Amino acid sequence: MDNVLIIGAGAAGSVVAKKCAMNRDVFKTITLASRRLESCKKVQADCVTPIEIAQVDADNVAETVALLKKVKPDLVINMALPYQDLPLMDACLEAGVHYMDTANYEPRDEAKFTYKWQWPYHDKYKAKGLIAVLGCGFDPGVTNIFSAYAQEKLFDEITQIDIIDCNAGNHGKAFATNFNPEINLREVTQRGKYWKNGEWIEIDPLTISAVIDYPDVGPVKSYLIYHEEEESLVENIKGLKQIRFWMTFSDNYIKHLEVLSNVGMTRIDPVMYKGNPVIPMEFLKCLLPEPSSLAEGYTGKTSIGCIVTGTKDGQAKRTIIWNVCDHAQTNKEVGAQAVSYTTGVPPVVGAMMLFKGHWSGKGVFNVEQLPPQPFLDELGKQGLPWHVRDLGPAEQSDLLTVKT
C-alpha cells in the first residue's frame, strides 16, 4: 500500500498533506480533496513534493465513490468535519477502501459525539476485508495509544486515567478557536461527563475544575469536560474504575463563551432572520478567525498527556506520559499552529502503520486496540516526541483530590 487520499483541506488536513509529502518513501501517491478546490491549491503549493488535488462533496456518497474509483487509494484519511464520518465510511465500503479518521461522528442537529454510530460498521468492514481506524488524532488518538502503552508495558492493572490537555499559547486575537469553531464550541458547551465505578456521571458545563501542573508549562486551571476517547477507553482498558478529561481555557475564553451563550450565538437550532432560517453557531463560525490563520505569530506551547494510576508488581504506581509541542516551531516546519500539528501528524503515523503492516485487521478499531509500540516509535520521528516518568506521592495533588 502506498496511495493515500486525504479528504479535508482545513488547518489539520493541510498538516496531513504536507507531512505525507515529506515521507515519499511511504506515500508514493498523495491526493488532497476538499469541497473547495482553492483550499487544496494553497496546500499543494506549500508541499515539499508534488501532490494531486481534487474537488469532492464529502456529504455526497456517490460523488465520493466516483473519486475513490478514479484515484484508487489504499486508504482514505478523513480530515473533514465529524458530520461527514458516516458518508465517508459508506463510500469507502462501496469502493473497497480502508478508512481512518481523527474524530467520531456527530450529528449536525445535536451536540453529541459518540461511537454508537460508527462501531456498528464493524461487521460490514470485516465482511469486505477492510479496516476502519477511528480516532487517530491526538486526543482522541495519541492519548488512547499512551493508555494502551501503559496497559501493555507499564502496569499490571490500571484503575484511573486523567487525560490532560493544555494550550498555553497566545495567538493575539480577542477570541478565536484553535480548530473548527463550530466543532470546538459544540464540544465545550455541551454537558460534561466522566466515568466512575461502572457508570457515566453528567455535570453542568465547566462546573468542575482543578489546577494541573503541566510539563514544560506549569500549573494551569483546567476544566472537566467530556471527550470521546473516554467512551472507547472504558471498553478497552481493563480494570479501569475512573476516567476523566481535563482541558484548559483562559479567563478571556470563558468570558467570551459565557456572553455568546447568553445571547444565543452558540445555539445549533435554526432561528428565523428576515424570513430565512439561520443557525447562530454557523453564523458565528463565519465571524471568527480561521484556525489556519492563527499560526503566524502564535507563541507558547501545548502540553497534552495522560496521568495513569494503577499497580505494578503489587505496588501502587502513578505515571505521566506526555508530549509538548511549540507553536512557533510547528509554524516554521509546516505553517501551522501546534493544535493543528498535533491533530495532523498522528493520522500520518497511523497511515504509516497500515502501509508498513504494523497495524492490520478487518473491521472497525479504535487506535488503542492496535499495537502501540511501533506507532510511538514513529511518532517522535515525525515531530511529536513523547516522554514518560513516574510521579511522586505529592505530585498533582489538586487534580487527584478534586471531588468528582
Is the same domain home to 88 and 216?
no
Strand partners, 215: none
Average pLDDT of the residues in 371-393? 98
Question: What total number of domains does the chain contain?
Answer: 2
Give residues with Cβ within 8 angstroms of 215, minimum separation 6: 303, 305, 320, 322, 324, 387
Is the same domain home to 155 and 281?
yes
Task: Describe the chain by its helix, strand, coil percentages, rounded to 5.
Answer: 40, 25, 35
pLDDT band at 106 (very low <50, low <70, confident <90, very high): confident
pLDDT band at 64 (very low <50, low <70, confident <90, very high): very high
Between CA 238 and CA 220 the distance in angstroms is 30
Between CA 51 and CA 40 the distance in angstroms is 10
Which of 117-126, 158-167, 174-183, 286-295 has the lowest average pLDDT?
Answer: 174-183
Pairing of strands 363-366, 3-7: unpaired
Is the same domain home to 165 and 88?
no
* pTM of the complete model: 0.93
pLDDT for 293 equals: 80
DSSP secondary structure of 387-404: EEEEPPTTTTHHHHHS--
Mean pLDDT across the chain: 94
pLDDT for 219 equals: 97
Q: Three cell numbers at 10?
A: 482545513
pLDDT for 253 equals: 82
Is the same domain home to 117 and 256?
no
DSSP secondary structure of 128-172: TT-EEEE--BTTTBHHHHHHHHIIIII-SEEEEEEEEEEE--B--
CATH number of domain containing 284: 3.30.360.10
Q: Does residue 22 contact residue 91 with C-beta atoms inside 8 Å?
A: no
Distances (CA, A) of 116 to 132, 181, 208, 276: 15, 24, 27, 33
Average pLDDT of the residues in 19-24? 98
Q: Give per-residue pLDDT as tens, 207-240.
A: 999 999 999 999 999 999 999 999 999 999 999 9
pLDDT for 111 equals: 65
Between CA 97 and CA 200 the distance in angstroms is 35
CATH number of domain containing 64: 3.40.50.720
Strand partners, 192: 203
Is the same domain home to 205 and 321?
yes
Range of the domain at 305: 142-336+385-401
Q: Does residue 265 contact residue 284 with C-beta atoms inside 8 Å?
A: yes
- At residue 179, does pLDDT exceed 90? no
Q: Does residue 135 contact residue 285 with C-beta atoms inside 8 Å?
A: no
Q: Give per-residue pLDDT as tens, 360-381.
A: 999 999 999 999 999 999 999 9
Is the same domain home to 376 and 390?
no
Is the same domain home to 185 and 308?
yes
Highest mean pLDDT of the ranges 111-115, 282-286, 368-372:
368-372
- Residue 270, preceding bond cis, omega within 30 degrees? no
Q: Three cell numbers at 324?
A: 509538548
Q: Does residue 47 contact residue 73 with C-beta atoms inside 8 Å?
A: no
Place of cell 510521579: 391
pLDDT band at 157 (very low <50, low <70, confident <90, very high): very high
- At residue 290, does pLDDT exceed 90? no
Is the same domain home to 316 and 346?
no
pLDDT band at 184 (very low <50, low <70, confident <90, very high): confident
Is the same domain home to 187 and 315?
yes
Distances (CA, A) of 105 to 102, 228, 314: 10, 10, 40
pLDDT for 120 equals: 98
Q: How deeply is 78 buried, as exposed, middle or buried, from its count of CB atoms within 10 A (0-12, 13-18, 19+)?
A: buried
Is the same domain home to 196 and 212?
yes
Is the same domain home to 294 and 313?
yes
Is the same domain home to 62 and 8?
yes
The closest of 12, 9, 61, 17 to 36, measured between CA atoms, is 9
Place of cell 517522535: 380
